């Protein structure tokens, strides 16, 4: 079980999700971290890129509830 879970709300964040997840990982490098995204139907590559960075993507069909 991870020591820390970080949930990042997303919707069409292709341009920044990789950087955000890298920065979170770097800031918490001494912890066992679980990265999660709460995505509200992104239409770009947000989810693909988040998964490549090791995040688990959680789908939230209701807009505004990812946060």
Is the pLDDT higher at 65 or at 25? Answer: 25
Q: Which of these, 23, 29, 22, lies nearest to 52 by C-alpha position?
A: 22
Tokens of 54: 């090791």
Is the pLDDT higher at 64 or at 16? Answer: 16
pTM of the model: 0.89
The pLDDT confidence band at residue 61, using thresholds 50, 70 and 90, is: confident
| Rounded Cα distance, 31 and 41, in Å | 30
Tokens of 61: 């069909």
Query: pLDDT tens for residues 22-50?
Result: 999 999 999 999 999 999 999 999 999 99
The pLDDT confidence band at residue 19, using thresholds 50, 70 and 90, is: very high
Alpha-helical runs (H) found in the chain: 17-27, 46-52
Question: How is residue 55 annotated by DSSP?
Answer: P
């Amino acid at each position: 079980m991870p020591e820390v879970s970080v949930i990042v709300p997303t919707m069409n964040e292709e341009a920044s999700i990789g950087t955000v997840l890298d920065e979170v990982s770097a800031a918490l490098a001494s912890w066992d971290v679980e990265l999660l995204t709460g995505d509200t139907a992104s239409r770009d590559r947000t989810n693909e890129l988040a998964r490549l960075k090791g995040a688990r993507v959680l789908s939230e069909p209701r807009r505004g509830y990812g946060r």
